[in-house]
Structure 1
Amino acid sequence: MQQQTLVNFQNFIIATRDSGYKSTASALAELVDNSIEAGATKVEILINKVQEQGVEQYEVLIIDNGKAMSEDELNLALQFGGSSRFNSRNQLGRYGMGLPNSSLSQCRRVEVVTWKKKGEFLSNYLDVDEVIDKSLTRLPKPKKSTNCVFSIQSKSGTIVLWKKCDRLSFKYLKSLIKHVQFELGRVFRYSIWRGVEIRICGETIRPFDPLFIGEGVNLKGGLPYGEELHYQVKIPNNEKKTSVVKVRFVELPVQEWAKLPNEEKRKSQITKCAGATILRANREIDYGWFFMGDKRKENYDDWWRCEVSFEPELDEVFGVTHTKQEIKETEFMSSILVPDIEQTARALNNRVRLKFIDLKRIQPQVFSKQQLERNDMYLPPVKKNDGLVKKNNGSLKIKGLEYEIVTKELKRDVFFDVEEVDNCIVLTVNTAHIFYEKIFKALHSRRINNIAD
């Protein structure tokens, strides 16, 4: 009986395409990691539509000006698990799976061109279809050339080309670019702040700071809460040395931003984004509700953020996988971080809750308007009364309607009245009604705490 190989390469290459990259941006982030490790200061991403055998497809090009690869390094770069830095804990990469794994998760053919100086180009490729039909069982020998089909600006660098792209996250180019811009801007915000330029289709990617402190496409206004926490953690398999885990918290400005329209708060990543950003070597690898213990997530938690930062030498204790897209809350790290993070999370939640109570007392109309906008589609039609009440230019427009809340004495014995005036929904609260004086006004002035009083 013929002895079988340890790995069936045809099945392996198919299976590795499902290796767990969340999106096209996540796969591209692996290549940007490689560029930054090679000392690149500029990374250009180009996405083009091409015709292949009468079928319109996308090609993705990633160009950097970093240190180029030698022939041996190029071969290792295209080999699964091949890396001159295998298991290194000094930089962003670790396993040598990044280039082939991420590329083939999005396309069926990846080509690499690298040059240490102009006129001396090395190139090689990996093709899924050639592996499946067994015409490619080993990596081809790199080709040497004095010319490059691509426009080269830097003295040295590397180009990665994705061809036969069949697994990109979005069908339409505009949506794909927008997706990549935001994700890479957030993931590599620290690299961009220190001077690395990342561009996509000619447009510079700006950073996004989920803490709302740094410069970028985000709003600015986050305020540090408390002192930054430092934890000395023993490095696995080297317990004589420790590495620092840093944790910090930020409060968002409730009084200023609570007035924003709900849609703007959502688009600005204020609401529905509670949690912690997890940084590995100042590169975001995950975002979510981590190390909060028994503290459940509430709407008030949208108004503060947490950042947890560690170095690659602590990968095992954070459960980091080779795709660098997620962590796992290991029992070891939870025992260290959860007590402080959960306690601080509860304190921040309470601070935010008290701020909203105070804000509702001072500016009740702001929150009433937002509640009306949120439920606009469920409201029954209201009577029209053209020209009775003049619209306020500061009122908010949602789905074609504006809302205005006014207080005045009404002749009828009703607590409030609703009418439509020039496409503006006007809610009039009757100041002469007994409920207004005894309950409504008393609650907002805090003369009573609840209706039961």
Structure 2
Amino acid sequence: MRYSHPNDPNAGRLIESLRHLGYGNYEAVADIVDNSIDADAQNINIRVQTKSNQIIISIADDGRGMSKSILDQAMRLGSLTDRNAESDLGKFGMGLVTASLSMAKKLHVVSRGDDGCWSSAWDVDEIVAQNAFLKHFEAATSDEEELLAEEIGKKKTGTLVLLSKCDNLANKNTSSFASNLRSHLGRVHRYFIGAGRVVTVNGEPVEAIDPLQLADPDTETVLDDVISVTLTDDGEKKTDNVRVRVVLIPESPVTDLDVGKSLKAQGFYVMRNQREVMNAAALGFFTKHNDFNRMRGELFFPGTLDRLVGIEFTKRQVEFEQSLQDQLNNVLIPVCRTIKRREATKKRVQSGEAQLKLHAQSMKVIAEKDKLLIKPKAVIEKRSSPRNGSGVQVDDALDTNKERKNFNRSQLVETRLNCVIREERLGPNGQIYECEMEGRKLVIRYNVEHPFYQRFVTDNMDEARAVTATDFLIYSMASAELKFLDEGDLEAVNNFKAVLSANLRTLLN
């Protein structure tokens, strides 16, 4: 079979498709900043401005700059520039072009390398009009050299990226865009900024934002260790290390750059070559819940493990290869469980005998009518046979189980459920209740500090029917929540309950 017939893509249609690969605006700018860091830039200046009623974004750096041949490659789709997987932030050789064109129709680059100053540009309108992948490429004009010099000063090398015809910006308020961009870059590139790289947006410095709040003396380190993983590449086995860190941020954060204790911020931050590629994700190690509001984790991977990590094109998502997922599960699932148990226990209160009897009566009725009730599926975990410890040490105060088991993904099954009603202190401003599945148990956690509980339970201890009716109402709400909830809806459901709880708090007080 011969493969010799030309099969060039339709340039006009393909370029429009490439503009919608899934980049967010701030992620796209971060991808361009990656190139500056890879070029050893110490100063990166970003401007988001309006000129002649057009928004123009510029990214300038004082890095190595690009020679004629390197710039020619960088302005191609799938460039062939050399990359160091152990340290470089770029991966696919398409970031400069695709990240830029996701926001703007025109990309213009001026770069001074070791063989002079060169200029190259893409324009989507020109590509569509001529239906061909054509670019501008020639020695920089004196005006272009002056434009670059204004940004990098007396530095001998550097690069200026100019984005114009910005038609794909979600936020066209330049001040707001710049502010959001500073926050995004401060978190994504926090380790580079902390090491001395200077990044500015519209003249204001980008401050490193650490979601783990490691500088706070009250942040508690639960786990900080290294896992050795094996990768088979072209039949050859290679071993590399993954650093795993889990902390509990303080009860009352006081830093100006506090990212907040919330469902949105809890979870694991995945770092590739010290650059964040995914933030606040559960990654199968736990299910987001208010008991994890203080938990933050980091997973540090070298670029050499890209295949195992399954990094996505825009560097915003990962999908672990199963062997890596299993190794991480063995370490992190027990840690997450212990954190949840500890945080939940801190909130629990000793119920009075009268409350216990009334709640027990409610639970008995629910159990008797289990087959008639519409309820969520039980979370049953499949485990392989026990095996010895992985060698990773966990804080003894948090890990009482010295022998680890191989934890696989949980499965949902239709089965009989036991309802468990607990009373906990979730705060006067907390929600009316929280709920979760614990294996075959549907656990309801009343907030004894909310006026709803005080009005409908505490004040009605002599009215058993009123208390059990309240239990049935909360059970029914919890069942509906857990039956139809998936992780993507978690924030919306939490916001719904927050509004419900806030309104009832106001009306009942």
Provide the TM-score with structure 2 as the length reference.
Answer: 0.64
Alpha-carbon distance in 1 for matches of 2:334, 2:427:
32
Q: Residue 18 of structure 1: SS of its match in structure 2?
A: coil
Among 1, 4, 7, the residue aligned to 2:9: 7
> 1:44-123 maps to which residues of 2 (within 5 A)?
44-51=45-52, 56-85=53-82, 88=85, 90-116=87-113, 120-123=116-119
SS of 1:15's equivalent?
helix
Alignment identity in percent? 26
- Whether 1:269 aligns to 2:266 is no
- Distance (whole Å) between structure 1 residues aligned to residue 454 and residue 131 of structure 2: 79
Residues 12-411 of structure 1 correspond to what in structure 2 (within 5 A)? 12-21=14-23, 23-51=24-52, 56-85=53-82, 88=85, 90-116=87-113, 120-134=116-130, 137-147=133-143, 148-150=145-147, 151-152=150-151, 153=153, 154-214=155-215, 221-234=218-231, 236-237=233-234, 239-254=236-251, 256=252, 268-272=259-263, 273-293=265-285, 295-357=286-348, 369-371=428-430
**Unaligned regions of 5+ residues in structure 1, if any?**
376-404, 406-414, 418-428, 436-453
Shift in Å, 1:305: 1.3
Given that 1:121 and 1:146 are in contact with CA atoms closer than 8 Å, whether structure 2 keeps it comes out as no
Q: Distance in 1 between matches of 2:50 and 2:197?
A: 27
Query: Shift in Å at residue 133 of structure 1?
Result: 0.2
* Distance in 1 of aligned mates of 2:46 and 2:340: 41
Q: Which amino acid aligns with 1:79?
A: R
CA displacement at 1:289 relative to structure 2: 3.1
The amino acid across from 1:306 in the alignment is G
Tell me, yes or no, if the aligned pair for 1:233 and 1:245 is still in contact at 8 Å. no
Following TM superposition, by how much is the alpha carbon of 1:93 offset from its aligned partner in structure 2, in angstroms? 1.2
Between 1:85-94 and 1:99-108, the stretch displaced more is 85-94
CA contact (8 A) 1:64 1:158 kept: yes
Q: AA paired with 1:303?
A: R
Q: Deviations 1:407-429 (Å, cap 9, x if unpaired)?
A: xxxxxxxx999xxxxxxxxxxx9
**Cα distance, 1:90–1:194 mapped onto 2, change above 3 Å:** closer
Root mean square deviation, CA, Å = 3.4
After superposition, give the CA deviation of every residue in 1:35-59 in whole Å (9 maximum; x if it has no partner).
01101001000011022xxxx2200
**1:132-191 Cα distance to aligned partner (Å, 9 max, x none):** 000764333323334524214132100000010011231212221121111110000000
Moved more, 90-99 or 79-88: 79-88
Residue type of the alignment partner of 1:233: T
CA distance in 2 between counterparts of 1:220 and 1:235 reads 41
Matches of 1:91 and 1:359 in 2, distance apart?
Answer: 55
Seen in structure 2, the aligned counterparts of structure 1 residues 123 and 229 have a Cα distance that, compared at 3 Å, is: same
Offset of residue 89 of structure 1? 5.0
Counterpart residue type for residue 41 of structure 1: Q
Distance in 2 separating the partners of 1:329 and 1:208: 26
Contact 1:75 1:139 in 2 (8 A): no
Using a 3 Å threshold, how does the CA distance of structure 1 residues 266 and 208 change in structure 2: closer, same or farther? closer
Name the CA distance, whole Å, in 2 between partners of 1:232 and 1:367: 40
C-alpha spacing 1:226/1:30, structure 2 compared with 1 (3 Å): closer
Separation in 2, partners of 1:222, 1:105: 39
Per-residue CA distance 1:210-268 (angstroms, 9 max, x = gap): 11114xxxx774221134242233253363421101111101223x45xx9xxx99973
Residue pair 1:291, 1:342 contacting (<8 A) in 2 also: no
Contact 1:181 / 1:200 at 8 angstroms: preserved in 2? yes
1: CA distance between counterparts of 2:169 and 2:146? 24
Amino acid at match of 1:190: Y
What code does the residue aligned with 2:59 have?
I
Quick one: distance in 2 between partners of 1:15 and 1:266? 38
* Cα gap change, 1:227 to 1:112, in 2 (>3 Å): closer
SS in structure 2 at match of 1:350: helix
Matched-pair contact (CA < 8 Å) for 2:11–2:131: no
Where in structure 2 are there 5+ consecutive unaligned residues?
A: 352-422, 433-448, 463-509
The alignment covers a number of residue pairs equal to 361
Q: SS of the counterpart of 2:320?
A: coil
Counterpart residue identity of residue 231, structure 2: K
